[in-house]
Amino acid sequence: MADGADDAAECARLATLAGSPVVAAEPARWGFSNRTTLATLADGRRVAVQWLTDRAVARWRLRVEARLAERLTAVGIPTAPLLGGDAGAATPFALHAFVEGRNGAESLVTDAGAVRLARLMGALVPLLAAVDARGLRLPSTWADPARLAGAAQRWLERAEPRLDVAASRALRAAIASLETLFAGRRPVFTHGDFAPVNVLVAPAPGRRGGTIAALLDLEFARLADPLLDAAWWGWIVRFHHPDRWPAAWLAFLAAAGGPNASAAFSDRIKVLQLLRLLELLNRAGPRAAASWAARLAVTARW
């Protein structure tokens, strides 16, 4: 919940929306750009309330997420049902039904756990690509190489004072290669923030690795190249869990449709990673921007 006196107001607002008083609340262990609170209601239900930092994103989520969840369910991807929310609240929020499961990031503690998670999440990639995105008016900058190149050039011009020479050079090369590497490739639905922290894993009878209980945080959903989600998953694991990455990456690719050792495949992955980091740097506030610039510098050396 929020700090101090805001707690009572947030609990009251949540109770009104959920139709039952809040008897217990605790912050979720995972979550970065948004805070999540797990609440128990007097009627016995558990819910997850996500406090959203971006009001425009909150409006988009509350308008689109229920429809999007239906499309995901249709291809076999479970989500946490959206119960409601308020984009106009002092702190915008989205209210979801509680889904039992461990956060996927917890699986990265061991090599075996990382490989099991990689297989589960890799298997979601072709399902995501099959989601019907018609009528959802999803962002489409990443769906067209020329449009993405124009946007990335603007991001780079704004971000360049924060970047070292090697990162700037790598980004310029990435932008210049977009049309050659991605021309003619059909864009698909992508999650946009496809990372271990954005899934819940639950036990499943007869399946040692469990199953995906829910795919979370759809606020970055977009139309993009089919490799975007794989590229971002690979970046997250390689950057934050480098010891797990070699085995997990191979397992992820195999589950997603087969490892690809071609130079073009590797180049596409690297370009998508660099440009997604540049996009996040462009969106970051002053305090976070230095961290994203540092991550870009590391990634440029890979």
Give the right CATH number for 102-300 from 3.30.70.3290, 3.40.50.620, 3.40.50.1470, 3.90.1200.10: 3.90.1200.10
Q: Provide CATH 3.90.1200.10 ranges for the chain.
A: 102-300
Segment 214-260, tens digit of pLDDT:
999 998 999 999 999 999 999 999 999 999 999 999 999 999 997 67
Under 8 Å between Cβ of 156 and 188: no
pLDDT in tens, 126-148: 999 999 999 999 999 999 999 99
CATH 3.30.200.20 fits 6-97, yes or no: yes
CA distance 277 to 296: 6
pLDDT cut 90: percent of the chain above it: 68
Closest by CA position to 59, among listed 81, 80, 89, 31: 89
Which segments of the chain does DSSP mark as H helices, in order?
6-18, 55-74, 111-122, 124-129, 145-159, 165-182, 228-240, 245-256, 263-283, 286-300
CA angle 206, 207, 208 (to 5 degrees): 115
The confidence score (pLDDT) of residue 259 equals: 67
Q: How confident is the model at residue 292 (pLDDT cuts 50, 70, 90)?
A: very high
Predicted TM-score (pTM) of this structure: 0.91
Listed range (22-26, 210-214, 295-299) with the worst mean pLDDT: 22-26
For residue 101, the model assigns a pLDDT of: 94
Q: In the chain, which residues fall in CATH 3.30.200.20? A: 6-97
